[in-house]
Amino acid sequence: MKKMKMPKVWEIIEKFKDFCKFRGWKTSETEDWVEVNDKYHNFLWTRDVHPSSFKSIVSNRRCVVREGLAYHVVEASYTAWLLSETPSEALVKTIFENPTFTKKIAIYDLSPLLEGKNVCEKLNNTDSPVFQEFESFLKSQLKVKLKPLSNVELNSENYSVANIA
């Protein structure tokens, strides 16, 4: 596979936020969120996250919004996790053990992309128009191929009942 010069995570987010402005969506100069129809779509980027920290952050669903000199906290309707390392099996297991998480969060494993490959692995079962647009942006602007998260070695049958309930 041909190695490509790929931007860093923060550069991808900044370019995407610029892209969102053309759609008329509100973005922040200093924070990584996009507001559409009074819903905040938050982007968190990290190298890795421990499952207990992940659970806490996802359960709290908070997002900091700066307006002028004041800051306030709002509820994030959706959160995309942009990981620069492949998510651990423990993290993926945590997500599947909590099916309500998959409706509100998306995971993007950007590690292959950051290594110069034009591939990104994802887990996105949300109905977030921002995350759908983010995926389109990755494909059209960065020529990235999106694939389902591949390190999931979990038996999905164990979780199908929880997803239906």
Tell me which range, 1-15, 72-86, 127-141, is most confidently predicted by mean pLDDT: 127-141
| Domain presence at residue 5 | no
Bridge partners for 97 per DSSP: none
| Domain presence at residue 159 | no
pLDDT digits (tens, 9 = 90+) for 13-70: 999 999 999 999 999 888 889 999 999 999 988 888 888 888 888 878 878 887 778 8
Range of the domain at 131: 14-151
| Domain presence at residue 9 | no
Residue among 113, 144, 137, 116 at smallest CA distance from 15: 137
| Domain presence at residue 162 | no
The residue assigned the tokens 């191929």 is: 145
Which stretches of 2-128 are DSSP H helices?
9-21, 51-60, 89-97, 101-104, 111-114
| Domain presence at residue 139 | yes
**Number of structural domains found in the chain:** 1
| Domain presence at residue 6 | no
Reported pTM? 0.82
| Domain presence at residue 1 | no
| Domain presence at residue 30 | yes
Lowest mean pLDDT among 11-25, 69-83, 109-123, 144-158: 144-158
